[in-house]
Amino acid sequence: MNTSANFDKFITEYEKQLQAAIVKYPAEYGYPVTEVPTVVGKMKVAFIRKSYNKDGRAIKATCKALNIGYTYRDIDMFLGYNEI
């Protein structure tokens, strides 16, 4: 498991952005804001496995907030994966 400070920073920001996206665009999400912790837990696994989909509003907003390029390569590098 990746334990880098950047990974933790990304997950914290992602949770914040996911909650905001669900509140602002509820029709785009199939779950209520109360499910954010569960979804974030599942996404942690997806980020670790590098099996995530970056196309959601929350990941895009996370990249913007953390000044990360909105590409798989840039996200993976920020998360601490040097092998891409």
Q: Tell me which residue of 84, 76, 38 sits closest to 59, measured CA to CA.
A: 76
Question: What does pTM read for this prediction?
Answer: 0.90
**Is residue 19 exposed (0-12), middle (13-18) or buried (19+ Cβ within 10 Å)?**
middle
Per-residue pLDDT tens over the stretch 13-56: 999 999 999 999 999 999 999 999 999 999 999 999 999 999 99
User: Could you state, in order of their start, the residue ranges of all structural domains in the chain?
Assistant: 5-79
pLDDT range class, residue 83, cuts 50, 70, 90: low
